[in-house]
Amino acid sequence: MNGMTASFIKTTMQLIGIIKERVEMFEETKADYKNALEYLNSITGHVEELKKNPTMMQDPGLVNTISNLEKITCEIYKVINSWEGYSNIFRFLYCHDLAKKLQRVRNELQECLIAAEFGVKVALFLHITQEREHDLLPPQQRNRSQCAPPQDAGMVGSSSDTRSIHDYDDSDEAEQIGAVPAASNRPGWLSWLWRSNVAAAAQILLLITVVAVALQPRLALPCWANGFDQQCSRPHPQEALPMDLDDVLIRFVRVWGWRERADTAPAREATPKREEEGWRERAEATHARRERERAEETNARDAACEAELAWQERERAHSRETARARQERERAEEARAREAARAWQERERAEDARAREAARAWQQRERAEEARAREATRVWQEKERAEAARARETEHARQRARGKEQRRNWQWKWTRGRDQI
């Protein structure tokens, strides 16, 4: 992986963070999801560009992460394109699951980014070391053509890659690894001495590694610490122990102390069995110590698991007790509510009965009043009719008396007139 891979991973991680925020805010408007769709299109373009470069696709972890990212982007495409077809609760659960998947892919990309940056720094260090190897001679005796940097643009750690790395990294890490101060700040011979010391240090480290590998079969190491002896290809199960920091330090001290112990070589060769037994005892002690540590760790994990299970059981019991108490309270509240409703209904029915009785009594009073009024009217009408009848009788009697008087007067007048004639 080079600078382009690391830059792609950083850009993809930023876009994934933006999409994760957009997916988690599922209650927002659909315009936010259109923006998320644009970010997804950008990620898809980055992935397609990365697939076209076979050099970058050699890391199986990065390939697996990119395939997972493609699957998740397909799921997000489906959610965004058919967003109105989901219910609210399903939408929330689905987006929560997508957010967790995006976080997982982001963590994987973070690991790939760390590996990419480490590879870039190592390549940059090797590139600077290769350039320093051409600068071992003084400036007066050095051919200027040997100081030219490599021109292969496809080489890992070339000058173009170095510039791209420095561009995306935004830090002076590239200048701190094997960087040489400017020549204008010090004399030329001091710069040459500095470059020579850096190259010599690199060569000394390489020489130490070669000497350690070459002298390892001569150090009479046991099978559990010797990986280069053909006789130790099938070690004993008790001897096939993984190396820890103590074993590495023992081997390092033995390699560096080989010259100091050169005078004791005959005594060591005379007692190889005792040395082997000492190594075996130390190996068995180390194995026993590791077994004890593993047993202690296992016991601690078991105790922690038991404590966790007990705590979970207590939490579940507390939750069940709390739920039962809550249900009891709810049932009591419901019973009180039903009793209050029943009492209210009884009061309402009693009020309705009293109202109906009052209405019936009022209607009876009204009917009695109407009957009394009708009776009084009938009596008054009868009185009126009787008064009218008496008045008519009186008038008829008066008229008869007046007629009799008139006839009597007429007869008197007629009789008197007849007498006069």
Residue with tokens 């009408």: 381
More confident residue, 40 or 82: 40
Q: What is the pLDDT of residues 239-288, one digit of tens each?
A: 444 444 445 445 444 444 444 444 454 554 555 566 666 667 777 787 78
Give dist(CA 369, CA 68) in Å, integer: 97
CB atoms near residue 285 (< 10 Å): 10
Residues with Cβ < 8 Å from 188, sequence gap 6 or more?
139
Which of 252, 246, 244, 248 lies closest to 208 in space, CA to CA?
252
Two tokens, residue 354: 């009293």
Q: Are 98 and 68 in contact (CB under 8 A)?
A: no
Give dist(CA 184, CA 190) in Å, integer: 11
Q: What is the 3-state secondary structure (H, E, C) of the chain?
A: CCHHHHHHHHHHHHHHHHHHHHHHCCCCCHHHHHHHHHHHHHHHHHHHHHHHCCCHHHCHHHHHHHHHHHHHHHHHHHHHHCHHHCCHHHHHHHHHHHHHHHHHHHHHHHHHHHHHHHHHHHHHHHHHHHHHHCCCCCCCCCCHHHHCCCCCCCCCCCHHHHHHHHHHHCCCHHHHCCCCCCHHHCCHHHHHHHHHHHHHHHHHHHHHHHHHHHHHHHHCCCCCCCCCCHHHCCCCCCCCCCCCHHHHHHHHHHHHCCCCCHHHHHHHHHCHHHHHHHHHHHHHHHHHHHHHHHHHHHHHHHHHHHHHHHHHHHHHHHHHHHHHHHHHHHHHHHHHHHHHHHHHHHHHHHHHHHHHHHHHHHHHHHHHHHHHHHHHHHHHHHHHHHHHHHHHHHHHHHHHHHHHHHHHHHHHHHHHHHHHC
Average predicted confidence (pLDDT) for the chain: 65
In sign, the C-alpha dihedral spanning 26, 31, 34, 38 is negative
pLDDT at residue 407 is higher than 60: yes
More confident residue, 15 or 376: 376
Q: Are 166 and 2 in contact (CB under 8 A)?
A: no
Percent of the chain at pLDDT exceeding 70: 37
Residues with Cβ < 8 Å from 271, sequence gap 6 or more?
none
Q: Angle at CA 183, nearest 5°, toward 177 and 188?
A: 115
Give dist(CA 277, CA 123) in Å, integer: 44
Distances (CA, A) of 177 to 120, 128, 129, 149, 188: 11, 8, 10, 17, 21
Two tokens, residue 278: 């000492």
Give dist(CA 11, CA 17) in Å, integer: 10
More confident residue, 341 or 59: 341
pLDDT at residue 370 is higher than 90: yes
Two tokens, residue 130: 């290769």
Quote the pLDDT of residue 356: 92
User: What predicted TM-score, i.e. pTM, was given to this entire model?
Assistant: 0.23
Highest mean pLDDT among 63-72, 116-125, 272-281: 63-72
Mean pLDDT of 37-50: 68
pLDDT at residue 63 is higher than 60: yes
Q: Are 228 and 214 in contact (CB under 8 A)?
A: no
Distances (CA, A) of 110 to 11, 16, 78: 11, 12, 26
More confident residue, 238 or 72: 72
Give dist(CA 54, CA 238) in Å, integer: 45
Per-residue confidence band for 120, with pLDDT thresholds at 50, 70 and 90: low
